[in-house]
Structure 1
Amino acid sequence: MNGLRTLLFKLVFYTVSVPIVMVTPISALFGRQAIIRNTHFWTRFHHWATRNILGINQHIEGTQFSDGPVIYAAKHQAMYETLELGRMLKTPAIVMKQELASIPVWGWAARRYGVIVVDREASAGALRRMLREARVALAEGRSILIFPEGTRVAPGEQPPLRAGFAGLYQMLKIPVVPIAIDSGLVWPKHGPKKPGVVTFRFGNIIPPGLPRAEAEARVHAAINALDVPKAE
């Protein structure tokens, strides 16, 4: 049954997604608000499809939003939360790896949306560019969404935070809202998706100005609050 659900979801979601993605570069020609509206439609459709076809629901704990721009630092176990957090958090500027932002046409549209490109080489020039793009987002009143472990991981995996998070935290001097997510339990990297509930736990706000080691330790613990480390 789970295999059939997954197959149906892929058929429906990607059939609808293809024209949406193809239209995105065209909508980008009419300004950021047009592309944001297009993105909102896509994320709402994803939410509908995952709930009604896959049987995946959500449980949200803690405070979702802040009075002003913050850095949302989230666990990343599946594609699921990439779209769902974009829907929940009202068009945050998402930190995206260079490889995705370099995809022809789509990458240009993503930049028009206002993503923040991060280079895994973590050179001084790449960090300056990332900070410049982040400050543009803050000037527009947008929060920033980053997956600070740098990549999607399986349940039980808790890699250290990448340097990009510390750079944003230290230079932007704004609060951090950590988000623990357990999506990997119903959305494995391989194999069929499973019906169930994904928990989004918004942790306590971490104030700006903490020493790097303390800020990283607090974020790491908070985003892994729903996770159980793999046995050695």
Structure 2
Amino acid sequence: MAFIRSILFHIIFYPISALIATSIMLAAPLSAEAVRRGAHIWAAWYVGCCRIILGIRLQVRGRIPNESVIAASKHTSAYETLLTLYLFHHPAVVMKAELRKIPVWGWVAARHGSIFVERNKAGSALKSMIRQARARSAEGRPVFIFPEGTRVPQGSAPPLKAGLFGIYSGLKVPIVPIAHDAGKLWTRSFVKHPGTITISFLPDIPANLPREEMEARVHAAINQDPLTAEVRA
């Protein structure tokens, strides 16, 4: 049954997504707000297809930040990448520059204000990321980052990448850690499994902490069980 559900998801979700993305692209020159609204509609379409077709329900715990903070999330699946546009009002998502090359979608992501990072350019990439993050934060937007740098297997806890501290020291705003268990259902295989994914927004980690303390607190927070962790009020 899960296999059939997964086939139906691909047949239904992706063609409509292409139409939505094209519509956003056409509206983008007229209004930045149209891009934001279109991105949210597309993300809502995604969450709805996951729930109705795949049987994947979403449980959100804690208060979602829509102010100028750094949202630092665990990254175990593709599910949470699209979820950012559904949960947040207007996030500035840090992502690898290769994604900008995707036809239509890459252009829309750039117009939405995503922060693209050239991961093979080390120092210059970090400076560019901080500069972009400052501009988005100045607009009152949350800057969303996967501090482990890439998708990791469910249950693993690798060290954090330097990019998080770069943004943290550059913006001087709190970090909101995010723990979730999406990887248990949304695996790398074609077949996705029904059930409930829990995402928890955890208490703020204040600005201006020493690097070691900040990283230790973020690492511990995002690797908690999202069902039992203390959440953001």
Q: Does 1:197 align with 2:196?
A: yes
Q: In structure 1, how many angstroms separate the alpha carbons of the residues matched to 2:47 and 2:68?
A: 24
Q: In structure 2, how many angstroms separate the alpha carbons of the residues matched to 1:127 and 1:174?
A: 18
SS in 2 for 1:220: helix
Aligned sequence identity (%) = 46
Moved more, 115-124 or 182-191: 115-124
SS in 1 for 2:199: strand
Corresponding residue for residue 78 of structure 1:
77
After TM superposition, the score normalised by the length of structure 1 is: 0.92
Q: In structure 2, how many angstroms separate the alpha carbons of the residues matched to 1:25 and 1:101?
A: 14
After TM superposition, the score normalised by the length of structure 2 is: 0.91
Q: Is the 8 A contact 1:122 1:163 kept in 2?
A: no
Q: Does 1:172 align with 2:171?
A: yes
**Unmatched 5+ residue regions in structure 1?**
228-232
Residues 110/191 of structure 1: CA separation in 2 closer, same or farther (3 Å cut): closer
Q: In structure 2, how many angstroms separate the alpha carbons of the residues matched to 1:157 and 1:30?
A: 44
Q: In structure 1, how many angstroms separate the alpha carbons of the residues matched to 2:212 and 2:121?
A: 18
SS in 2 for 1:16: helix
Deviation, structure 1 residue 102: 3.3
Corresponding residue for residue 16 of structure 1:
16
2:154 maps to a residue whose letter is P
Q: In structure 1, how many angstroms separate the alpha carbons of the residues matched to 2:28 and 2:128?
A: 22
Corresponding residue for residue 230 of structure 1:
none
SS in 2 for 1:108: helix
Q: In structure 1, how many angstroms separate the alpha carbons of the residues matched to 2:121 and 2:209?
A: 22
Q: In structure 1, how many angstroms separate the alpha carbons of the residues matched to 2:156 and 2:75?
A: 10
Q: Is the 8 A contact 2:137 2:171 kept in 1?
A: no
CA displacement 1:128-175 (0-9 Å, x = unmatched): 211121122112211111011111112122111111111001111000
Q: In structure 1, how many angstroms separate the alpha carbons of the residues matched to 2:21 and 2:104?
A: 10
Corresponding residue for residue 34 of structure 1:
34
CA RMSD of aligned residues (A): 1.6
Deviation, structure 1 residue 124: 2.5
Deviation, structure 1 residue 179: 0.4
SS in 1 for 2:72: strand
